[in-house]
Chain A
């Protein structure tokens, strides 16, 4: 039936309903577990190959060797990272992973620089080599 006011019924149906928006930060939205938020670095696994640095589209990750030992720290620029997780995909040693932490606003510029300090490797090799599923772009360094 053609007449104006087609959406009136919908409006009345929604009058008694709570708002569709939520009152952040008092209530938080549920974030799916594998959302791409802050990248986590596990220094013990890192071998310093820097494939992650080369593949990062935003130049947001740096891998440094602070001392003489073969242990590495990672520096993330939270303001430059686009949270694409390419570094996670590229890393051959599972030293990087994603976390659903998306509340990354900081009050100063300096704290946007996130440093994961270098940790010495445990005496035993920590993990067996894990076969990752087909990942087209995670080619080992030798092939490049």
Chain B
């Protein structure tokens, strides 16, 4: 490789292939990509700080606007933290309804992704039809919650709205229609040779790299990582609902497409199961305005992967600290690895294949001690040991969990 022949091309912050601003500086040798530098921060909105200035009730609506697609994911994740701190027991029906809206959200998110991915490889026919069919689930959500996006379906302590028998029938009918369409798209994805050829061996990432970087969601599962927060750490009603975690061993963009479509089929099963087994009773419990002091962390399997929220309460009606780790944050770190050695033309589809959401991701942290002389640089191993010791000191031992995890990926 002759370093004189390396050409640097900035892709973004504004670029037609990116739906949101982010900057990828691509180093090319001929057509081959040798390096990719990532720059985020163009979408930083200061949501975490804004959350500290607002009450918990107002924060439901603020956090819903972290992401237009996984709005239900972010509120549920935050609300689970608050409920944990306040010791609220959400009634079963509330939990089941939350689960159903969460799955409907996954359906519309994955169908949206299918269209975007098809568009990135120039298969606009698939984009048009998949987005037309996505309207079915958008209409369902509108009828159920009152809005197509930002459903504000969650309350601290449960769900805001109940569903009627009539809505149940509508949902079942729509799910049947969607299932049929999804089967057709799976057929298209597996039989349309141009699509298979375009997506295969693009954006390859091995299971080892996935584990090392900590990739989550369908991106990780497409490399054979059997990890899903719905199974690993069940929340809402997922411990009572049977479903499969879809994995694939293609490790490339094609595998990611197959995983997402497999997940769609599972989501339909979950929605049907929820409707057939919906427990009776209240949908919410009354929550206090002031949340007692405490802290909590909660995990949620958003359509793009595991979403993690942290809330620290100080006994007032406003949180002291809120922290959001959106799934794209970790998945983005895998993009340079996926693209190394690929062609320039593969960049757009590989980025699209992790289903990135940059505005979810942009957070800023200032390490305030950095200039104060107390700063210390730790190696990766030291950091790891530090956290293991810290957790042990606080009564959490991960040895068992590590063993289980190691067994599973063998």
Contact = CB atoms under 8 A, between A and B. Distances in A.
B287 A137 contact: yes
A98 interface: yes
Contact of B126 (A1, A5, A7, A137): A7
Contacts of A85: 146, 152
A4 B146 contact: no
Contact of B57 (A3, A6, A20, A55): A55
A134 interface: yes
A27 to B, nearest CB: 15
Contacts of A31: 142
A64 interface: no
Contact of A7 (B129, B196, B285, B289): B129
Contacts of B155: 135-137
B61 A134 contact: no
B165 to A, nearest CB: 16
B61 A86 contact: yes
Given A86-B57, A139-B289, A134 B147 contact: no
Contacts of A86: 57-58, 60-61, 152
B146 A134 contact: no
Nearest to A35: B146
Interface in A129-144: 134-137, 139, 143-144
A1 B282 CA distance: 51
Contacts of A35: 142, 146-147
Interface stretch (B187-195, B203-211, B354-362): B187-195
A34 B147 CA distance: 9
A135 B142 contact: no
Contact of B289 (A6, A82, A134, A143): A143
Given A7-B125, A36-B146, A143-B288, A57 B58 contact: yes
Contact of A84 (B142, B152, B286): B152
Contacts, number: 98
B142 A32 contact: yes
Given A3-B193, A20-B132, A55-B58, A144 B147 contact: no
The A contact surface, by secondary structure, is loop
B339 to A, nearest CB: 27
A89 interface: yes
Interface residues of B, number: 43
Contacts of A137: 57, 155-157, 287, 289
Among the interface residues B187, B192, B285, which one has the most CB atoms of the partner chain A within 10 A? B192
Contact of A134 (B58, B143, B184, B282): B282
A139 B55 CA distance: 14
B187 A32 contact: no
Given A1-B191, A83-B147, A134 B283 contact: yes
B319 interface: no
A6 B187 contact: yes
Given A57-B54, A137-B156, A20 B135 contact: yes
Nearest to A1: B191
Contacts of B132: 20
Interface of B: 54-55, 57-62, 65, 125-126, 129, 132, 135, 142-143, 146-147, 150, 152, 155-158, 160, 184, 187-188, 191-194, 196, 282-290, 317
20 contacts: A1-B191, A2-B191, A2-B193, A3-B191, A10-B125, A32-B146, A35-B146, A35-B147, A36-B152, A58-B61, A83-B147, A84-B61, A86-B58, A134-B158, A134-B282, A136-B156, A137-B155, A137-B156, A143-B289, A144-B317
Interface of A: 1-7, 10-11, 20, 31-32, 34-36, 54-58, 82-86, 89-90, 98, 134-137, 139, 143-144
